[in-house]
Structure 1
């Protein structure tokens, strides 16, 4: 079976005398319902039309997002701005898992109901006439049968209901389109209706010489969990002829191999996907650990420990189910007496279970110099589209920094000034700068020139008072101050902190490789100060800066594995707060 990206629509034409082509009696049972073609005298050939086939994920349906991409981006920018609950007794935690979700819970927009969401599949099969009546009721819905089958996938409708829908389509149109057949296959796979999957697969093999990625993925998923799992490997090879298979394709084949005790084959597939720089799904890794509980083999043990090191090197956090599988595997290793505990780590970095101190979050000298060089080259001097400043202004700032002693804290002035809506921005900034200046720290405040013009928000006497407590650099009003913030902080040395609620994700994304991005995130969490409490005229408090790194780590007799809690929604820039501590007694 060849492979291609579908640029045409493959119509499954009416098939008379279907029993001549379909070898198993089940085909007669299935497609007698679908096609109702008992009286046709010949088999029509397959045709193509202009519609494209769309890959279907068996676990998902098309749903409207509650926010557009631009709205989400705008919401992220607002994270550093003031809200009415700034005096809340709950501390602000920028990088902890679930923090962003909690911050945005009051800003969610109403879900938009579409015509598609208003359709619910019937609970029992309908006749052709009943389907036609329902289609007429939703005549405003384009491609009624596609939307209906998507909803059947969403609501996990009975296979018989789906068959009755296809029967109506075949009667009305004289064929079943490729897309519709693939959606039916998705429903069969979701319900693990293996006999139906086999039937559709055999028909597809017979009738279609070329398929697209979505159909291959569905077939691999459906076959890999059955006794015909080796056929999924053949489909994987077909994909490899023209493109790199997906991590889900590899994962399904790996699980098929492990389920059938072909462990060496599973290793080969796993290392092949890593060589292609594919990051395995967590359920693929879980399959290895679940197998390890039952198979006592030194090579498998070595592979599993290698997976843990892979998680560490790539800053991947297991979910709660994978964590439990890791825990049970360690505890099942003969003669080693491992015991796992769920815990949280104190701010000092000490594990309360084993009293082990976790690895420091602070970069060593070599790491710091690597990061500093990369930031200057790729973000400040490079083609960072988020820089939004001129070479002349940047050069002016560099001269400014180099002609001053190293700073202890670099402050994003506008970001800090907007932390509260209870005072003017100039007064808020003065309060925070005054609080830090009492500790005899060298401070640099980054601002913009409009702060000097005098306005209700920026009163000249208050700005002048703040300038007596810290050095200021005022950029052009259209400039982005993040590059200045990064440069001044890194130039001042590893001791220097920076104060902002901005997450700097755009600049992190401009870094060239995973190692540098990892160093940046580690440096950021170890150096970024965040104002967690601000009561005007009363109290200023900063979020504690962690002292330990949130990655998988081991001392030989202990393992500490941060993991994602099942019901906590963690954004990509956040880190888990729960840990698995494993001790060898």
Structure 2
């Protein structure tokens, strides 16, 4: 058999109609020939692409049919039989819940309500999945239309019956039930459900924000504020519905513009305290509202070089850590990250002691360099080239008379000896075991060295900030990082570029009578850009009293 004939045989399964038959034929044929054959490899690649293409082109016929259901459908038994006769994953057990979810997602509420009425007319007990789907349907309907008495009764009955039957509810049921209870203002029952979610996991962003919104809607400001604190401790920032009801509460309770502005400042102070990013819908409403108050309300950008607002030309301030904040951060690094139960320096006790003794004996430093991170900025180059870049970066900082601690891995000691010796003569140096995580070392070294020590690394340090259990402390760590972290990038024309820390704090701020707030612009956030840990500076709102 010549090469052309072999290729035709190997590509034959791709032309087959049935993917299963193709797989059987192809597996048999490829076992016949050597796995080293380039033609066999080519056929394998083409076959995989073809099968994936076939699968992508085959839509779920059942879901497609559900989407075509009209609102005046009468014979639901016939509709269900038609769905079950088509190809897909819907079966006799899950068909009711899947139909309701699909119609709710498509906002085909009339058909979904008709089907719900059909299900409720049966004498059979509704499965849990179907109950959850009905609760989800009612939650979506209430956003635009008031629920009927029967629909409200179904929510209350579901709450009672489910707890009578199961005592403890699963996460999905709790989430659906909580949202449904909130739309009928049953906040006490919803709060019980929220607490039950904590038995297995953390409630969702939507669960927290929906209940917070309900508290504001019912004028229960104290309850709302308590739950806001809890939600943020669980890293669940507020969603648009919570902000909207908070604003509605202020506008409902107060009429004088100056008093309204004062209480809106409370909302902004919350945003600033937690360095929160408001949703785009909230930003639009704030712009509209403050424009109606005769303020200058504009969307703006913040200049990365100096923090200047493109609208009002005011510069964001550099919110330095206070002595108390830094001491608290340093104390937690010692107690939580090193000595406590949250130990994350994955190393031997002997190496950890050697490292801490070294820091105590040689600190303070002006800079802590992440040697491996900087060296590998040179890409897939020989070790000598990596050390050449590292040496140039060190020389850059030595020109400014900086005292440097270089942290690396022990395998770097096997790199080009002459180059490495030259580097080590210029710095204090510590090399961790290869099995250790080196990035926690330079974070610890920089913080233990003192409030004036900076670090140089492109590592964004996200994972390590989460080791600090307190949300306020995580924000202090983030501010410290913005103010102390340098980064090294390679540039085709300029060689290496050293990016200094920010000269401002990219958090919500008030200066005189002007507020600057970041908002979540999904369009900007989804565009490709270098991620250097700096928040989005293109999506801010500037609110300035005229």
Tell me if structure 2 keeps the 8 A contact 1:342–1:579.
yes
Residue 427 (structure 1) aligns with: 385
Counterpart of 1:444 in structure 2 is 405
Residue equivalent to 2:281: 321
Is the Cα contact below 8 Å between 1:433 and 1:470 reproduced in 2?
A: no
Aligned equivalent of 1:137 = 86
Match of 2:515 in 1: 559
* Cα distance in 2 between the residues matched to 1:237 and 1:364: 37
Whether the aligned pair in 2 keeps the contact of 1:282 and 1:319 (CA below 8 Å) is yes
Whether the 8 Å CA contact 1:152–1:162 is kept in 2: the answer is no
The answer to whether the 8 A contact 2:61-2:87 is kept is no
Secondary structure in 2 matching 1:529: strand
The separation in 1 between residues aligned to 2:149 and 2:275, in whole angstroms, is 39
Tell me if the contact between 1:128 and 1:167 (Cα under 8 Å) persists in the aligned partners: no
Q: Using the TM superposition, give the Cα deviation of residue 547 of structure 1 relative to its aligned residue in structure 2, in angstroms.
A: 1.0
Structure 1 residue 386, shift from structure 2 partner: 2.5
Residues 502 and 561 (structure 1), Cα distance of their counterparts in 2 relative to 1, 3 Å cut: same
Matches within 5 A, 1:380-395: 380-395=338-353
Aligned CA distance change for structure 1 residues 460 and 584 (closer, same or farther; 3 Å): same
Most deviating of 519-528 and 284-293: 284-293
Determine the C-alpha separation between the residues in 1 that align with 2:361 and 2:429. Answer: 13
1:76-475 superposed matches below 5 A: 119-120=63-64, 121-124=66-69, 125=73, 127-138=76-87, 141=90, 143-145=93-95, 146-160=97-111, 163-164=114-115, 167=118, 174-192=124-142, 194=145, 198-205=149-156, 209-211=160-162, 213-223=174-184, 231-233=185-187, 235-236=189-190, 239=193, 246-254=207-215, 256-257=217-218, 265-274=219-228, 280-290=238-248, 292=250, 296-297=255-256, 300-333=260-293, 337-346=294-303, 347-404=305-362, 406-440=364-398, 441-453=402-414, 458-475=415-432
Aligned to 2:28: none
Change in 2 beyond 3 A, CA 1:118/1:373: farther
Return the offset for 1:180.
0.7
Shift of 1:541: 0.5
CA deviations on 1:291-311 (whole Å, 9 max, x unpaired) are 656752466544322111111
8 Å CA contact retained: 2:517, 2:541: yes
Aligned length: 453
Separation of aligned partners in 2, 1:332 and 1:140:
52
5+ long unaligned stretches in structure 2: 1-51, 163-168
Q: Distance in 1 between matches of 2:329 and 2:60?
A: 49
Instruction: Please state how far the C-alpha of 1:392 moved relative to its aligned partner.
Output: 2.0
Contact 1:127 1:168 in 2 (8 A): no
In the alignment, what sits opposite 1:12? none
Question: Scaled by the length of structure 2, what TM-score is found?
Answer: 0.71
Q: Tell me how far apart the structure 2 counterparts of residues 252 and 572 of structure 1 sit (CA, whole Å).
A: 35
On the 8 A contact 2:378/2:389 being kept in 1, the answer is no
RMSD: 3.8
3-state SS, counterpart of residue 296 of structure 2:
strand
Question: What's the CA shift for 1:383?
Answer: 2.9
2:59 and 2:532 mapped to 1: Cα distance? 33
Per the alignment, residue 582 of structure 1 pairs with: 543
Note the alpha carbon deviations across 1:165-195, whole angstroms, 9 max, x for none: 8858988x95532431330342343244746
Greater relative contact order, per chain length (Cα 8 Å cut-off, separation 6+): 1
Taking a change above 3 Å as real, the CA distance of residues 204 and 528 of structure 1, as seen in their structure-2 partners, is closer
Bigger share in helix: 2
- The 8 Å contact of residues 317 and 563 in structure 1, kept in 2 or not, is answered as yes
The 3-state SS of whatever aligns with 1:568 is helix
Q: Are the structure 2 counterparts of residues 491 and 323 from structure 1 closer, same or farther at C-alpha, using a change threshold of 3 Å? A: same
Residue 558 of structure 1 and its aligned partner are, at CA, apart by 1.9
